[in-house]
Structure 1
Amino acid sequence: MEKEKKTFISWPVLALMSFVTVIGFDDIVYNFQNQGMGVITSWIILLLLYVIPYSLMVGQLGSVFNSEGGGLSSWVRGTRGEKLGYFTAWTYWAASIPYVVDTANAVVVGFGWLLNGSNALEDSLSTAMFALITLIIFVSFIFIQRFFKGSLEFLGLVGGGAMFILTILYVFMAFGSLLTPSGHIATTNMSWRTLIPKFDLHYFTTIGLLIYAINGAELIAPFVTKMKRPKKDFPKAMIMLTVMTIFLTVFGSFALGIFFNAHNIPNDFKMNGSYYAFLRLGDQFHMGSWLMYAFAVTQIVYMCALLAVLLDAMTRMLISDTGARYMPKKLLKVNKDGLPINGYILTCTLSAFILFLGVFLPDMNTIFNWLLNLNGIISPGVTCWIFFAFMQIRKNSDKYPSEYVFIKNDKLAYAVGLWCLVVTVLATIFGIIPQDVTMGSSLFYYQLAINIISIIVLIGLGFIMPMIAERERKKDGIKD
């Protein structure tokens, strides 16, 4: 009995585990450029009305499907069958393509700051060269992870922890800077009105990036069943997670407003804002560029490890979580070491295709912003599956018993799930509209076109693969 107790996870530990994976400093920077100081109100509304129910729904799904590891595709498969389960796995994988390309971009930017101590890389790299270097890094890490996978996961953990510490450090030091003789708030005309976002079309196009910043709670779903009293303790963990996230996003955004005028944010803030922030913090405390270099090293270590682990995990997940009925034989094929080589080739091909679309954008900063915003479309789109699966189990709650239940009343729980689904669908649709360019310009229409093309190609292939697999089965004389 004593031995069994040691395996339980306490709710504060689960909350801390979730916190490191849910929010990061870059997430605060991206959304600060989109909405300025008004993002503070957006964070509070989103976290209270969306993140808390989202996290608690994930907890019930993880409890219902605990024997299957709590994976997203297993939730949909368990409620609506194999075909939708396959398509969930495919869309989850497809959403990872822009994410890993964006991660590789961040590695290039990080090395630029580490080597130059400034944003000089932006002026020296053409869009084609930026895309090429990103692709080389991307392909290299497919081979690197094969030899150093265990150590890279450890480096990812260390880098993630260091990033968390630097983020907290930035917030406290930024507020501390106001106590210094030269301390002041850079954002002019600060008032309560400054904190209220302008609810126009641009605002609605940026909600997807907010959801992209805080999604990922499904990763902690398997741990629900490892708690001693999940019914009581899991909600405590999620509320603690929300409180910590509100603290970091609200005070982090305000800390950015201390050093940057929210009414006049640099155009390249999404790409370089984190480095600018630590440079200005270092200047304020007469520390030179030391803090910026500490952030650059942390960013590179974390992003490199994340890139390598993701490239392996996402490809293996696609191959292992779909099966022969829906995937062509060539994609299921593994070499003598058990590596899905053709799966890696497909991943690289689609990543190169995404990078190719970005080559025709005017500069490195525009490519970075476009890829980031593409994540703000596809990632929330995949999150829709979570609410869809939750609504299915509450529609048939007798069929899906759970140790932890979010809202006892099935109709109310279903309505909350529908609310989150509608918000996420609308954020996904509005996200397709380009954010960082002048509406109606040729660049606006080009970005709109490549947003749509990217979605059609990444998601559309998911419909084609089962057709190829079915043709192969018929050729081999195999009946369903």
Structure 2
Amino acid sequence: MEELQPNKHYMHWTVIALLDFVTIISFENIFYPFQNQGLSVVISWIFLLFTYVIPYELISSQMSLTFDNQDGGLASWVRRSSNDTLGYVTSWMYWVQSIPYIVDVSNSVIVSFSWMILGDNTLGQKMSPFWFGLLTFGLILIFILLENAIKNSLEILSLIGGGAMFIMSALFVLLAGYALTQGAHIATQPFNWHSFMPNFSLKYFSTTGLLIFAMSGAELAAPYVVRMRDPKHEFPKAMWLLAIMTAFLTIFGTLALAVFFNGNQVPHDFKMNGPYYAFSLLGQQLGLGNILMYIFTVVQTIFMMAQLAVLLDATSRVFAGDVADNFMPKWVTRKNKNGRPVNSYLMTTGLSLFLLLLTGTLPDINTIYNWLLNINGIVSPYKTCWVFFAFIAVRWQDKKFHSDYVFIKNKTGALLIGGWCLLFTFVCATLGFIPQEVKFGTWAFTHQLILNFITVFVLFGLGLVMPWLRKRELRKEKDSDVA
């Protein structure tokens, strides 16, 4: 264990839990599962909490403490526990799975501005999908330029906005409970045990990937291990607090939604506009008009803009480590005089434009918003599979690796839990290819299914091209040296 340094600034475990929480899940993450599964999603959240979320976060604790001197996070876990090639594959998937999320966050920024300016849900009537895509692309470009002008200040803004978002989410739950005591009626009926029972259909399982997407990301806290006073005891505490906060928002947040929305028949644009509807209805119920909705809109705008800035910066720096040297062309990792990986920004921009061109084939803004969410429900869980792969590899080689914290000391039990999490995540990600908001057999279903395969093939497949380009680059360098 590292000796304490008197002058070193240590991060408290509660701060790390909050930093991880605001990066992983926000208020809007409970809306699309509620639309997909209705009131039964409460049982899904509870089931996942005990069989998936808690093991996932404690597995992340062990892995973070096993590789506490590595800066590459998840990619380092896979690389050290297997080989360099799989480490590169992980780093590529980790980077590229964030591209749909970047576009999704950009969309959310535009939607939040529309509510701030218009005060209603008429964006889809006033703006064509073409202009929506153009604005999204313009926003991404603006923030990439800002990355070079403003150093790290937006990360602080992200923490402020994220903290405010958690407060607003908790406030919604508490005020929904208060509204019930003041005579409000539960909109979802019947509100009984039968309504909470899941319908284990293909649609149910194909939408579970979005729940994993909403709750995954505990490994993001790994780099903060070295900044803790007592990582062995404090990091697992941070993960437990993270699990508790996630449980509060997902379970009680969903119950609060059931007060204002009929889970059996939610608005068709619920995923895009649901959070604004929720605070509008809450304000009306409490006699406050749209004040709460406008406060939420401001918080949402700040949070999403700051998150976009941090995402763009973090994703473009993934290949700065030594793993990339063997697999990525030098032009990708080259930095400017300010230490910014400008060509990585160009790749991010190019792939964002690719996604936006695909969304241009969809009929309206609401469909675009929903489709991008569903893409995140595919690519994000595939990335999460590597967390459990690395854990299995480490536990399989128990004698080779040491950690101050061990999740499940029994090797067989640990491998079974890791195997379950890996299999469950992979199956849910694969079932996520099935389009959600359209009927099977229609052209719209076939169209979105084709888009899903094209998107995943291009995003993940491009990672296989980079090592080939690197080999050509090395061959040219060798030939020039000989000449």
Same structural fold, with TM-score higher than 0.5 when normalized by the shorter chain: yes
Please state how far the C-alpha of 1:150 moved relative to its aligned partner. 2.6
Is the 1:394–1:410 Cα contact (8 Å) retained in structure 2?
Answer: yes
Sequence identity, in percent?
49
CA distance in 2, matches of 1:19, 1:452: 31
1:151 maps to 2:153:
yes
Paired residue secondary structure (1:405): coil
Is the 2:69–2:226 Cα contact (8 Å) retained in structure 1?
Answer: no
Cα 1:145–1:12 shift into 2, 3 Å: closer
CA distance in 2, matches of 1:279, 1:272: 11
1:456 maps to 2:441:
no
Aligned pairs for 1:442-453 (under 5 A) are 442-453=443-454
Please state how far the C-alpha of 1:244 moved relative to its aligned partner. 2.9
Give CA-to-partner distance per residue, 1:342-361, whole Å, 9 cap, x none.
Answer: 22111111110111111111
Cα 1:335–1:9 shift into 2, 3 Å: closer
Cα 1:223–1:38 shift into 2, 3 Å: same
What's 1:337 paired with? Answer: 338
What's 1:134 paired with? Answer: 136
Give CA-to-partner distance per residue, 1:398-419, whole Å, 9 cap, x none.
Answer: 1011111111111211111111
Is the 1:89–1:321 Cα contact (8 Å) retained in structure 2?
Answer: no
What's 2:114 paired with? Answer: 112
Counterpart of 1:285 in structure 2: which amino acid?
A: L
Normalising by structure 2, we get a TM-score of 0.95
1:374 maps to 2:338:
no
Counterpart of 1:280 in structure 2: which amino acid?
A: L
Paired residue secondary structure (2:324): coil
Counterpart of 1:206 in structure 2: which amino acid?
A: T
Counterpart of 2:444 in structure 1: which amino acid?
A: L
What's 1:391 paired with? Answer: 392
CA distance in 2, matches of 1:59, 1:185: 40
> Superposition RMSD on alpha carbons, in Å?
1.9
What's 2:324 paired with? Answer: 323
What's 2:311 paired with? Answer: 310
Cα 1:162–1:185 shift into 2, 3 Å: same
What's 2:177 paired with? Answer: 175
Cα 1:465–1:43 shift into 2, 3 Å: same
Paired residue secondary structure (2:409): coil
Is the 1:166–1:295 Cα contact (8 Å) retained in structure 2?
Answer: yes
Aligned pairs for 1:29-428 (under 5 A) are 29-69=31-71, 71-181=73-183, 183-224=184-225, 230-320=231-321, 322-428=323-429
CA distance in 1, matches of 2:388, 2:291: 44
Once structures 1 and 2 are overlaid, which stretch shifts more, 313-322 or 380-389? Answer: 313-322
Paired residue secondary structure (1:476): helix
Give CA-to-partner distance per residue, 1:415-461, whole Å, 9 cap, x none.
Answer: 11111000000011000111111111101111110110001101001
Identify unmatched segments of 5+ residues in structure 1: none
Paired residue secondary structure (2:390): helix
Please state how far the C-alpha of 1:337 moved relative to its aligned partner. 2.8
Cα 1:226–1:149 shift into 2, 3 Å: closer
Cα 1:305–1:236 shift into 2, 3 Å: closer
Give CA-to-partner distance per residue, 1:39-97, whole Å, 9 cap, x none.
Answer: 10000000110011111111111111111136010111111121111111111111011
Identify unmatched segments of 5+ residues in structure 2: none
Give CA-to-partner distance per residue, 1:88-122, whole Å, 9 cap, x none.
Answer: 11111110110100010001101110000001111
Please state how far the C-alpha of 1:240 moved relative to its aligned partner. 3.5
Give CA-to-partner distance per residue, 1:141-168, whole Å, 9 cap, x none.
Answer: 1001222233211211111011000000
Please state how far the C-alpha of 1:338 moved relative to its aligned partner. 2.8
Please state how far the C-alpha of 1:16 moved relative to its aligned partner. 4.1
Give CA-to-partner distance per residue, 1:240-279, whole Å, 9 cap, x none.
Answer: 3323322221111010000001111001000000000000
Cα 1:226–1:339 shift into 2, 3 Å: closer
Please state how far the C-alpha of 1:378 moved relative to its aligned partner. 0.2
